[in-house]
């Protein structure tokens, strides 16, 4: 069994990005600039955004963090997005989710300029991705593709089962694994909460990609020997014996599933670090595309 070490691979990617940025600086070119809007004081969101800002510093990007109160109106947020769309110095930006209930998330995602949508959530980018056209791929699926590629895991002709159909992970992953090229060319089954005989379907999978947010959902007996297991889930589970009062659990019963799998991602340290690395990669692509357009 091989651990898919997202922490190591993400550091490799950041080092590669930093080398490109250093080259830009040497040529007196503008370096990539990533902005993030966060609305409210959600603890997990704040931690995630701060991690993104630190990652920008590490690779030499410029970064801007726009904080807005939890009482921000939809109109105020849309005004801020429009300013970032027009701000020439900013190459890409994200709106951190979730948003407060008074704001329509779909309306907000539609308002982001697709050329600056480094999260890859805009329908324009999603549509281009579906048609195998150049686009920003959502960072988590992009990270999973990169892990499969860098560990040279065969995907051609394999049966990939995706568990979960979110717009952020499950659905794009099902499209990407079925596309032409590598990683891809696999036969994909997309499963969800209403799928009948889900255990039977998973047991036939060469590759399982799971993102349902249910700790230890995927048991060892559900996968076949030598399956590749990609665990996207991460949940805080209360644990009085732990220093922080909780432990982080994935969607996979790692301890037992790892004894059967050929490759498996740990939680934490698997898909999570890859997400931020690929957000940086998308921002670098955004800078290069803007330079080419000019």
Taking Cα atoms as reference points, which of 38, 68, 40 lies closest to residue 53?
38
Tokens 């159909």 belong to residue: 165
Which residues are CB-neighbours of 10 under 8 A, at least 6 positions away?
A: 143, 273, 274, 276, 277
CA distance to 94, 240, 268, per residue, from 121 (Å): 9, 38, 24
What does the block give as tokens for 4? 């898919």
**Pairing, β 159-163 against β 187-191:** parallel
Annotated binding-site residue? 166: yes
Catalytic machinery residues: 52, 96, 119
Annotated binding-site residue? 89: no
3-state SS assignment for residue 225: coil
Which residues are CB-neighbours of 215 under 8 A, at least 6 positions away?
A: 233, 235, 237, 249, 250, 251
Known binding-site positions for NADP(+): 164-166, 234
Known binding-site positions: 164-166, 234
């Amino acid at each position: 069994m091989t651990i898919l070490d997202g922490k190591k691979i993400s550091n490799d990617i950041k080092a590669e990005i930093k080398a490109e940025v250093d080259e830009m600086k040497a040529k007196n070119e503008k370096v990539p600039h990533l902005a993030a809007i966060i609305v409210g004081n959600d603890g997990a969101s704040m931690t995630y955004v701060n991690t993104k800002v630190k990652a920008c510093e590490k690779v030499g990007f410029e970064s801007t963090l726009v904080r807005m109160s939890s009482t921000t109106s939809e109109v105020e947020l849309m005004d801020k997005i429009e300013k970032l769309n027009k701000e020439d110095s900013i190459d890409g930006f994200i709106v951190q989710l979730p948003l407060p209930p008074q704001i329509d998330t779909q309306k907000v995602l539609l308002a982001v300029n697709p050329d600056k949508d480094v999260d890859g959530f805009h329908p324009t980018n999603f549509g281009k991705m579906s048609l195998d056209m150049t686009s920003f791929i959502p960072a988590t699926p992009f990270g999973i593709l990169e892990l499969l590629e860098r560990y040279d895991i065969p995907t051609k002709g394999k049966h990939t089962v995706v568990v979960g159909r979110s717009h952020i992970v499950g659905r794009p992953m099902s499209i990407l694994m079925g596309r032409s090229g590598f990683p891809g060319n696999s036969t994909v089954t997309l499963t969800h909460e209403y799928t009948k005989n889900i255990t039977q379907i998973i047991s036939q999978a060469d590759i399982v990609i799971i993102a349902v947010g249910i700790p230890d959902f995927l048991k060892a007996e559900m996968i076949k020997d030598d399956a590749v297991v990609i665990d996207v889930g991460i949940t805080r589970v209360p644990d009085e014996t732990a220093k922080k009062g909780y432990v982080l659990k994935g969607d996979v019963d790692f301890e037992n599933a790892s004894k059967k799998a050929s490759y498996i991602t740990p939680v934490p340290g698997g898909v999570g670090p890859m997400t931020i690395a690929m957000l940086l990669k998308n921002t670098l692509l955004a800078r290069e595309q803007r330079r080419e357009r000019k």
